[in-house]
């Protein structure tokens, strides 16, 4: 998907919000996810991502890792994609050791 300058600005804001939530574990999943797939997301998915990023960290992270079931409104293909991505993001981290 090709983004125009307005979309590019929106994506920059989403990247900032994804990387700087103040909850390191969530940052290390959401930031790389938006970096990797943000440009591919549809407008509807970007809208959905914005709503997800508005949720409290402890809830969003619990939904991503499967500690808590996501409420129906948030139990979407995008959340499932982010949840699956956590294993990919973990594989790219250098701060975990062996």
pLDDT in tens, 46-78: 999 999 999 999 999 999 999 999 999 999 999
Buried b (16+ CB within 10 A) or exposed e, 59-91: ebbebbeeeeebeeebeeebbeebbebbeebee
45 in a structural domain: yes
What are the pLDDT digits (tens) for 17-43? 999 988 899 999 999 999 999 999 999
Is a pLDDT exceeding 80 seen at residue 9?
yes
Q: Per the domain annotation, does 96 fall within a domain? A: no
In a domain, 97, yes or no: no
Quote the domain boundaries for residue 45.
5-91
Res. 1: pLDDT tops 60: no
Tell me, what CATH number does 23's domain have? 1.10.150.250
In a domain? residue 68: yes
What is the per-residue pLDDT for 8? 86
Query: pTM here?
Result: 0.81
Does 39 map to a domain? yes
Count of domains observed in the chain: 1
């Amino acid at each position: 998907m090709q983004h125009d300058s307005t979309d590019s600005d929106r994506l920059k804001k989403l990247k900032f919000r994804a990387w700087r939530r103040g909850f390191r574990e969530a940052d290390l999943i959401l930031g790389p996810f938006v970096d990797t797939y943000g440009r591919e997301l549809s407008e509807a998915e970007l809208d959905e991502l914005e709503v997800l990023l508005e949720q409290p960290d402890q809830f969003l992270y619990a939904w991503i890792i499967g500690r808590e079931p996501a409420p129906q409104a948030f139990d979407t293909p995008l959340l499932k994609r982010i949840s699956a991505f956590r294993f990919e993001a973990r594989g790219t981290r250098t701060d975990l050791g062996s």
